[in-house]
Structure 1
């Protein structure tokens, strides 16, 4: 290091560059995480880039920071790309600050290099990290089988025998599954009570169940068993076992490896629950009927560190977390088939109690088509002008996708709405289509190429497009089969190697009373929710009834001209059902009468008098986490390149093979 004329040290170029990156990390932590760094030495440091969220394990980070002195505590918050380390002496903390800043380490899993940046902190949020409580009604019984029993159970599975016995099971391309007692049907998430499988449950399972029943671990003996084998990286989407299909108690035995199962309450509360190897999960009551449970597809889980990796008592049960590589896990899930309707205390999510008054989806193709005609097509034709007036700003990640395409690419916007994406790039050959003639006319007024058609039948030659976008369209189809058909039509348009971007509303919403950073324009009467091909939802649920709604407008309930008998969504609340009607408050003077409906108001609209602004109801199927990706993977000719969450939407980028 050089000195100037008065003996003061001057930083080298490398040191200046390191200092700049260190300060950048400091500002990033403050801006995005609220972590305030200080410029004077303390015993505690925050380590940017050194966290579980970017693949750094506890053991690896501990090996780095212990070289500088006695570490009293190490906190690694789950899912975050930073950690906190507390030394016994300020001298040791300062040594780490001076010697470890800019240190490169190789992430064990990916082999990628990350650079660590250290900053002093006065306060470490130990007290803010509290252990997550288990959902009510959930029990974890550890070491419930002996290692020799585990071995016998695993060896008893004959995967070669009748491994695939039905069309429903053929859809499970990514994990092995076997059923006993009754076949679990993945097409309707139920069983056929009149067609039990021969042989019943395996003898070894009957012995274990009898023992658990005698010990009081379970309340009644199950008569249905599903065995799933999960390779590292595989998972299962969040779901609630069908109320009408099975009795209250559902149990799952984890063999071969441990895994983290994610539980989520409809209000957004979540719990990551470790299922140790040879443990029994028992779900009943609220945890069984109300909380979703699923396994996130990944190769590593965030788990409690082993005794040898723990430090001190400050972080007990809180900061002692590390990354754990998944192994091959086999689950034995036992259920008892229900013989009478469910009468649980959670009617909003109970198919037995909603069946007579609020069916979640049509029973057949004809009913599905009629529902969509009334609560999608007629509604959007009726609100088209108002709807278009609320759609101005293209969404950044959609624009980003379009910018990755080569010059001259042919791109179809299926469900283009008012065409706001058709003019993003002048060097692409883009065309749009939509069911609303008025919206297509608006596209024409803007000079865009667009035509009227159904998203299930696009009159364009197969394999003629380099890319397709489907922004907020597929969630308007009312059955799984029709949603899958819409995906097939998108893929049909693509050439081999072509890509599609798909957005749908997410069941999982974030209500933080914050405005989107994307849409800063003030929109009249809540036009943030999209329709056939408009903007992804910004704040789903509250976006249709904002403060700019005309004071004379009136929300209606499910009995007011709502013949689909679907629940009507209440703004600023979590979704209580995946299939529902979402209100649109029409601004005065913005209504356009449908061309094909001249003498009456569209069925999805209601108003008491001419003084009240009409309210239209639009049908939506909101997607749960992993549902869109799983639907895409049912197509043999595509590969899902990316799946992400964006402002209340689940999004997928797929490529045609």
Structure 2
């Protein structure tokens, strides 16, 4: 048996270990959340590691806390790993502080445990605030159908093969179409090819009610039924303007869920859709805001009366975790027969067809452009690209070295990771769209993962700093660039900073020329002009002719073209000019050539070869050139985009070697 001194020594070590973890939790909350703990006893406690963000639900936490006394108020902020509680007396709070800190808790519905760390706090903002305002034009009508109608509708869905109606089994849900099939390849319907049978008769009562109560102007002729199992969802999207009329109405049956709405400026609203409720989207909420369902098994929702604690409401409402069930949605739409003339031309595919030819006509075209001229290109040139990216830029290094020791930093679009190893005093993690570049980071023993900068799968408010170096200019619409900026802001904790670099239209600024901008007289083109005996005007005409070949020739014509300069051109998206490297930009939306060195490996083919419509071609026979899409920023454009976000302020903006740069701080 252990003697008394050994027991005391063991207890002392355990107390020291607990105290160390409590102090760590205190510093983390102060640094990342601005929550200041105090060394004396109060009625208020902060519970680190016990919040909605790490799986603790309100009912379970309430039951744990009430053991020690009367809980007057409980604040569980959404997506945060901590909670705040107010006891009726200081003595009750002291008892909870003494017995709960270091206590292991097995989470309900999850096969894992957490350890709670408790500290006293002086002030908590318990006052009520208004709930988030719904997007304009959005309505949620609860109990629109009865439980009997819900049962009838669900029982009449035939999920077996149906010759008359389109049945689709997607990765994240089951889908069935009536009236017209919605084609996910082009996000539209074939208006000249309706499905036989029309809409099910069992929907007539629901549709008549919608018409009588003014939720639809005319009877819908298209129905999509989606079935979501727990953990399934649907990506954020806007229903194609040219495909459907204004009103979109959707019944939620079987289970409730949370649908996320997002404005292009970064504003987000999480909307609860109860069972048997009707969602109505018109106007701005239908045409401008994206809507989607995040794939997860639990939602942060408003607590029921039984789950609420005390009479004082928190500043984010009485929130808890709700386990998802199987939800089925009936979404009714009216197929559009004339072009859309809504008030949102920047996101309207009908109206963008008449816009400037240099910009993509729709989000779908933007995605295709980026896939072909950003994602695929970097995947093919990754090795050669990495070999040219080895020296960190001084001002970026300066930004990183000014961060406090131990800062958590995200490099969004990290490439080969040349900034991930700048300082051992920082904990840096990178992500990139290119798998090959991420593999190169792994070879260097850097932490990096694959993802799109539009949607980084990391919790909000988690980073002390972010950097985005030469990434945002690869997004081909203003909305997508704005969404990427908003994603950076989301990742930052309050007070966190982001450094952003994008290519500048102005390669010469304040009489200083970018080191990447060569004197035209020494360029390869000028030497070719001299050899050919051409005047400058003749040479320019020849270059224009070559650019027109690129846009006009078919793939077969291009493969047969003998002209050396045009042989270097790959098939590119028409209407976008090809930039001449190391010269001034003449357009904001351009394709920039990447000349692959002889012998460089191309991903997707043997080293030293490229692929064409005629089969493999040796590099000695044809020069390898890939075209990357860029939107180069004019002076003030990046700052103006950043100012659209209400939760950040610009600390600094500057021009650095042909780049516009900003440093942001999250408010």
Question: TM class by shorter-chain length?
Answer: 0.5 to 0.7
On the 8 A contact 2:172/2:234 being kept in 1, the answer is no
What is the CA distance between 1:122 and its match in structure 2? Answer: 1.3
Q: Does 1:504 align with 2:452?
A: yes
Aligned residues of 1:472 and 1:530 also touching (Cα < 8 A): no
Q: Which of the numbers 256, 265, 269 marks the counterpart of 1:271?
A: 269
- Of residues 532, 543, 560, the one that matches 2:501 is 543
Report the Cα offset of residue 192 of structure 1. 0.6
- CA drift of 1:132 comes to 1.4
* 1:616 CA displacement: 7.4
Q: Please give the residue correspondences for 1:189-200 in structure 2 after superposition, counting only pairs within 5 Å.
A: 189-200=187-198
Q: Does 1:341 align with 2:335?
A: no
**Aligned-residue offset at 1:42:** 1.2
Matches within 5 A, 1:83-482: 83-127=83-127, 130-162=130-162, 172-315=170-313, 318-357=316-355, 358-360=359-361, 372=373, 388=389, 471-473=432-434
Contact kept? 2:473, 2:502, Cα under 8 Å? no
Change (3 A) 1:312 1:264: same
Q: Residues of 2 paired with 1:501 and 1:274: CA distance?
A: 32
Quickly say closer, same or farther: Cα 1:76–1:163, change in 2 above 3 A.
farther
CA distance in 1 between counterparts of 2:371 and 2:240 reads: 26
How much does 1:110 deviate? Answer: 2.1
Separation of aligned partners in 1, 2:151 and 2:239 = 28
* Structure 1 position 86, deviation (Å): 0.6
Q: Distance in 2 between matches of 1:513 and 1:337?
A: 41
Given that 2:73 and 2:313 are in contact with CA atoms closer than 8 Å, whether structure 1 keeps it comes out as: yes
Shift of the alpha carbon at 1:372? Answer: 4.0
Pairwise CA distance, 1:370: 13
Shift of 1:422: 14
The unaligned stretches of length 5 or more in structure 1 are 396-414, 425-468, 475-485, 491-499, 521-525, 555-583, 623-657
The 8 Å contact of residues 585 and 614 in structure 1, kept in 2 or not, is answered as no
Q: Tell me how far apart the structure 2 counterparts of residues 171 and 63 of structure 1 sit (CA, whole Å).
A: 42
Q: Normalising by structure 2, what TM-score?
A: 0.62
Taking structure 1 as reference, are residues 173 and 294 closer, same or farther at Cα in structure 2, changes over 3 Å only?
same
Q: C-alpha separation between the residues in 1 aligned to 2:578 and 2:464?
A: 29
Classify 1:423/1:13 alpha carbon distance in 2 versus 1 (closer, same or farther; 3 Å): closer
> Structure 2 CA distance, aligned partners of 1:370 and 1:33?
38
2:326, 2:64 → 1: CA distance?
Answer: 31
Q: Distance in 1 between matches of 2:473 and 2:196?
A: 49
- Relative distance call for 1:61 and 1:547 in structure 2 (3 A) is farther
Specify the SS of the correspondent of 2:28: helix
| 1:557 alignment partner in structure 2 | none
Kindly indicate whether the alpha-carbon contact (under 8 Å) linking 1:36 and 1:121 is maintained by their aligned counterparts in 2. yes
Distance change (3 Å), C-alpha of 1:598 and 1:299: farther
Task: Give the Cα separation in 1 of the matches to 2:37 and 2:182.
Answer: 54
SS of the residue 2:208 aligns to: helix
Could you tell me which residue of structure 2 aligns to residue 605 of structure 1?
Answer: 579
Q: Distance in 2 between matches of 1:309 and 1:362?
A: 43
Map of 2:618 onto structure 1? none
In structure 2, the CA distance between the partners of 1:376 and 1:613, relative to structure 1 (3 Å rule), is farther
Deviation string, structure 1 residues 237-276 (Cα, Å, up to 9, x no partner): 0000001100111011000000000011111110110000
Query: In 2, distance between residues paired with 1:590 and 1:36?
Result: 57
C-alpha distance in 2 between matches for 1:257 and 1:44: 36
2:610 matched to which residue of 1? none
CA distance in 2, matches of 1:10, 1:548: 67
In terms of mean alpha carbon deviation, does 153-162 or 266-275 score higher? Answer: 153-162
1:307 is paired with a residue of what secondary structure?
coil
Partner residue of 2:41?
41
CA contact (8 A) 1:259 1:275 kept: yes
Give 1:3 deviation, angstroms: 12
**d(CA) in 1 for partners of 2:346 and 2:457?**
17
Deviations along 1:175-213, one digit per CA (max 9) or x if unpaired, are: 211111111111111111001111111112122111221
Alpha-carbon distance change, 95 to 529 in structure 1, aligned in 2, over 3 angstroms? same
Is residue 517 of structure 2 the alignment partner of residue 588 of structure 1?
yes
Distance 1:206 1:180 in 2: 13
- 1:585/1:360 Cα in 2 relative to 1: closer, same or farther (>3 Å)? farther
Give the structure with higher Rg (CA).
2
CA separation in 1, counterparts of 2:127 and 2:223?
43
Query: Which residue of 2 is the match for residue 13 of structure 1?
Result: 13
CA distance in 2, matches of 1:218, 1:516: 47
CA distance in 1, matches of 2:421, 2:509: 36
CA displacement, residues 533-578 of structure 1 (integer Å, 9 cap, x when unaligned): xxx9996995215899641599xxxxxxxxxxxxxxxxxxxxxxxx
| Aligned residue number for residue 66 of structure 1 | 66
Superposed displacement of residue 154, structure 1: 0.5
Q: Do 2:433 and 2:450's aligned partners in 1 also have CA atoms closer than 8 Å?
A: yes
- 1:362 and 1:73 map into 2 onto residues whose CA distance is 46
The residue number in structure 2 matching 1:446 is: none
- Counterpart in 1 of 2:640? none
Judge conservation of contact 1:259–1:276 (CA < 8 Å) in 2: yes
Aligned residue number for residue 617 of structure 1:
590
Moved more, 71-80 or 536-545: 536-545
Report the secondary structure of 1:29's partner residue: helix
TM-score by length of 1: 0.63
Q: Residues 617-641 of structure 1: CA distance to partner in whole angstroms, max 9, x if unpaired?
A: 356599xxxxxxxxxxxxxxxxxxx
Moved more, 302-311 or 281-290: 302-311
Equivalent position of 1:637 in the other structure: none
Question: RMSD of aligned C-alpha atoms?
Answer: 5.1
